Amino acid sequence: MTLSTEAAPDAALLRVEALEVVYGGAVRALVGADLTVREGEVVALVGANGAGKTTLLRALSNLLPAMRGQVSAGRVTYAGLDVARTRTDVLVRSGLVGVLEGRHCFGGLSVEENLIAGGLGRGSSRADLRTDLDRVYALFPRLAAKRGNPAGLLSGGEQQMAAIGRALMGRPRLLILDEPSMGLAPKVVEDIYRILVGLNRDQGLTLLVAEQNVRLALRHAHRAVVLENGRSVLSGRAAELRERDDVKASYLGAAQAPRTAELSPA
């Protein structure tokens, strides 16, 4: 079911249409996912454990083949590119940059070397690297203070900041994040979201954030898409979704309202 707030198709920076994904030829992880992200938006992809959020994000960066996953139907288009036919590094240089599961800092490298790796992936010049490092350090003063330390010794929150900083070094047009709140203290999560939303507001950075913490996601996003069992079942403006009884009952911990699946389409 879909609220009537989706973009006209031509306005989309990213478009996912009726996407189906199978792992190992057997596990059907997505069975019909639809998603649109317009330039300048913050869009949340929410859903319970195993709903398919990470799988969808992998598909956006054409990372499924490396996980024995395969798009079996549907299509992903980013900035006019057919993603399934575009190498991940080409997508990165086109501005589609992900902070995917596990944060993946290079533990033996310093914080600064980790950040520089993000700029090199994009082919930045030495001068660009310097400018971008200063920008990242201004956003995350804690990284500036630890620039020479091994990234492996950072706290979980600092590693998340380093992973986001490294992605920003790639000068993204669309930044994709997988559960940036995972395992972090509420205060750190708030700091990270404040910075991300600030980048959207002040610099127009487009964001797609997968979150299990639906309350958090709906507070910060402009729009959201709800995934259930590999299918997008609901989408619309975050402010409207927050007020829906079915969303409250299923995802925001409200008691009496019926579950999403029992409701008729909006």
Ligand X SMILES: Nc1ncnc2c1ncn2[C@@H]1O[C@H](COP(=O)(O)OP(=O)(O)OP(=O)(O)O)[C@@H](O)[C@H]1O
Please list the residues that pair with 175 across neighbouring strands. Answer: 97, 207
Among residues 5, 9, 11, 27, the one that binds ligand X under rule CB under 6 A: 27
Nearest Cα residue to 92 out of 126, 56, 117, 66: 117
Give the pairing type, strands 96-99 and 174-178.
parallel
Binding of ligand X by 53 (CB under 6 A): yes
Please list the residues that pair with 36 across neighbouring strands. Answer: 15
Nearest Cα residue to 107 out of 154, 140, 143: 154
Query: What is the CB-side half-sphere exposure of residue 98 using CA atoms within 13 A?
Result: 21
Among residues 33, 35, 37, 52, the one that binds ligand X under rule CB under 6 A: 52
Find the part of the chain contacting ligand X (CB under 6 A) among 4-12, 21-29, 84-92, 155-163: 21-29
**What is the pattern of x (binds ligand X, CB under 6 A) and - over residues 140-179?**
----------------------------------------
Find the part of the chain contacting ligand X (CB under 6 A) among 50-58, 111-119, 160-168, 256-264: 50-58
The amino acid at 122: R
Q: Are 32 and 87 in contact (CB under 8 A)?
A: no
Binding of ligand X by 232 (CB under 6 A): no
Q: Are 163 and 179 in contact (CB under 8 A)?
A: no
Binding of ligand X by 51 (CB under 6 A): yes
Binding of ligand X by 66 (CB under 6 A): no
Q: Which is nearer to ligand X, 53 or 223 (CB)?
A: 53
The amino acid at 155: S
Among residues 47, 118, 172, 236, the one that binds ligand X under rule CB under 6 A: 47
Residues that bind ligand X (CB under 6 A): 23-24, 27, 29, 47, 49-55, 67, 212
